[in-house]
Amino acid sequence: MMKHLQIFLLLCGVVWVPILLTYSYNTQSREGSIGDIAPNFTWNVNSSRDLAIYVEPENTTAVITNENLCSSNSADHRQKPLLLIVVCSAVGNVKARDAIRKTWMSVGPNETAPFDVRTVFLLGQTVNDTKQSDVLLESNTHRDIIQEGFIDAYLNLTLKSVMMLKWVKTYCPQVTFVLKTDDDMFINVRTLTEYLSQSDVQVRKDLIVGSLFCRVSPIKDAGSKWYSPLFMYDAKVYPDYVSGTGYVISGPLVPILFENALHVPLFHLEDVYTTGIVAKRANVIPENSHLFSFVKHPTTNPCLYRKIITSHGLNPSELKSVWQQINDPRLNCTSVRLPKIGDPKFKKCHKTARLTVRRSGRRGFSG
């Protein structure tokens, strides 16, 4: 009898441990994120959600096109970048962009060699002429800005992502992978390049990978930054999706997602929309990599930052501090024991585990 009980408990453990692990990796609270203010929800039942109206697929909508970003020769004249990093940024976030330029964006071609990586900031428009002329100046100085033709606002983040697809489809169709990320992110370009250049990854034409969420329920609290009223989405759960803080899409998937987006009513949460709803319509299943994180890794652990691909929610001074630490030649990580990062075996959402997890933290717009 006792024996049976033991076996029973053991089996329970075997069944529950993976489920609980999966759960804990994806339920880390986003509630506490600093600076998360719910926007005033300006969508209403009468707003048009036909993206084609805003995106104008046949027309050039970009104010700053930067059309040579991908084709222009780098030092070694390669024409087919492995990776294009698109940092979604708000017009006013100049300090965040400068910090990125001085830190993880400054990895030279030598450090990602033999792979070609390009990075660009994607902005929307502002109605303030002073701010607009500042954007033009910044763009002339750094040549790393795309500005698309829509009003930059938190509730327009989906539009920003679809504009990203439009721009890549038009001006960078030859790219192998695109990383969509935000301006409060640390990106380890070297580990990301290593990951994407693995032979089994590099051939993938249908990859969407990041920090994966399974069966997330829409939030009904109007005070939440992730509020989703029934008229915007009326099913119980979202399609599985990856966090908008950082996800990689195969280049060949970009025009496919773009075409599909034109036939799916706009939904305001960018990651749910692009990597969940639209991806599902395109029959693409998003995947998890434990090296992508929608939470902030401790900025006092540079050895960890040398290993991971993304970390979320770093302000400009934290970015600079981490960057300085990981590039310190005296830093020796050989004997450092790192904390466990996610579950390397968790790759896809499983149909059997019935879980309700919360949405990820994100803050692509804060201006």
Binding site for ligand NAG (CB under 6 A): 37, 39-40, 42, 44-46, 54, 56, 58-59, 108, 110, 128, 130-131, 150-151, 153, 155-156, 159, 332, 334-335
Both tokens of 48, joined, read 């048009």
Q: Is 241 helix (H, G, I), strand (E, B) or coil?
A: strand
* CB of 49 or CB of 131, closer to ligand NAG: 131
Region of residue 313 (phi > 0: left; psi between -120 and 50: alpha; otherwise: beta): left
Least distance from ligand NAG to the Cβ atom of residue 28, Å: 25
Q: What is the DSSP string of 327-360?
A: T-TT---TTPPPPP-S-TT--S--SSS---BPPP
Distance, CA of 122 to CA of 85 (rounded, Å): 10
Q: Based on CB atoms, which residue is closest to ligand NAG, 150 or 171?
A: 150
Rank residues 59 and 283 by Cβ distance to ligand NAG and give the closer one. Answer: 59
Whether the CB-CB separation of 222 and 250 falls below 8 Å is answered with no
Q: What is the DSSP letter of 169?
A: H
Q: Which residue sits closest to ligand NAG, CB atoms considered?
A: 153
Residue 45 CB, nearest approach to ligand NAG (Å) = 5
How near is the Cβ of 75 to ligand NAG at its closest, in Å? Answer: 7
Distance of closest approach, residue 213 Cβ to ligand NAG, in angstroms: 24
- Residue 185's nearest CA partner among 321, 294, 39 is 294
Can you read off the two tokens belonging to residue 317?
């001074």
Cβ–Cβ under 8 Å, residues 359 and 237: no
Q: Which is nearer to ligand NAG, 148 or 184 (by Cβ)?
A: 148
Nearest distance, CB of residue 148 and ligand NAG, angstroms: 9
Q: Which residues pair with 87 in a beta bridge?
A: 121, 181
In the complex, least distance from residue 147 CB atom to ligand NAG, rounded to whole angstroms: 12
- Of the pair 233, 292, the CB lying nearest ligand NAG is at 233
Beta carbons of 302 and 192 less than 8 angstroms apart: no
Q: How far is CA 176 from the centre of its chain?
A: 17
State in angstroms the smallest separation of the CB of 281 from ligand NAG.
21
For ligand NAG, which is the closer residue by CB, 59 or 352? 59
Nearer to ligand NAG, 112 or 245 (CB): 112
Nearer residue to ligand NAG within complex by CB, 152 or 184: 152
DSSP for 94-148?
HHHHHHHHHTGGG--HHHHTTS-EEEEEEEEE-S-HHHHHHHHHHHHHH--EEEE
Output the smallest distance, CB 286 to ligand NAG, in A: 26
